[in-house]
Amino acid sequence: MKFSANLGFLWADRSLPAAIRAAKTAGFDAVECHWPYGARTDDVQAALEETGLSMLGLNTARGNPGENGLAALPGREEEARAAINQAIAYADAVGAGAIHVMAGFADGQEAESAFAENLRYACGQTSKTILIEPLNRHDAPGYFLTTTDQAAETIATVGAANLKLMFDCYHAGRTEGDVLTRMESLLPVIGHIQIASVPDRGAPDHGELHYPTIFAGIETLGWKRPLGAEYRPGGDTDATLGWLAAAR
């Protein structure tokens, strides 16, 4: 199996270029990040070229302090689309293949309409994969997108070929369960898979999800792309990487 280091959490105490180099040393096949905008794109690109790693994806900006995305916020379309444009420009500069458009804290029909229209905008601005990700209600109470079914309905409504689901085993495991069956049913619309333990979001080597079974199931589904290790190391990242050697 192949794995991507999510540098929003792993080696988060280092600059993004330094974290990319650490991921290479640790044996990851790719990297991904959350909000890289404070790092110069030429420095990031240099680290990617030096290591031979690809940047799989990044997030749109959260918005104002306390916010968690803008795309489902009625009346904030101009800001949401500016964040989408920013993400596309950064992704173009570093060769990232996907952009996670963050919905934000909202609910109701107006939010649903705003989210769909902003996603149509994003999908029309780039050929890159546009990702949406349900966040569990424990970690992100009030977030607009909360279930994989809701995400699948949104993807069908928008109707863009490059709009896909970011299937996070951690978020699905916290509130939906039956992770492998759900993953199999949604496989046609999945653009990326992420992993972390349930319920503490630590390394994928303990907790309610048995990751050797999850990994075997993913292989059976024919998934070949890197899985995103988006977990909180709770200290030194290198000290948590026993699972990676075991998964190899």
From 49, 133, 208, 219, active-site residue = 133
Q: Are 208 and 198 in contact (CB under 8 A)?
A: yes
Sign of the dihedral through C-alpha 5, 101, 181, 234: positive
Q: Is 112 a catalytic residue?
A: no
CA angle 239, 231, 149 (to 5 degrees): 160
Amino acid at 171: H
Q: How far apart are CA 221 and CA 156, in angstroms?
A: 22
Q: Are 213 and 181 in contact (CB under 8 A)?
A: no
From 176, 184, 219, 230, active-site residue = 230
Q: Are 5 and 12 in contact (CB under 8 A)?
A: no
Long-range contacts of the stretch 48-52 (C-beta < 8 A, 24+)? 48/20, 48/94, 48/95, 50/21, 51/20, 51/21, 51/23, 51/24, 52/24
Q: Is 219 a catalytic residue?
A: no
Joined together, the tokens standing for residue 118 give: 């902003």
Q: Which residues are catalytic?
A: 133, 230
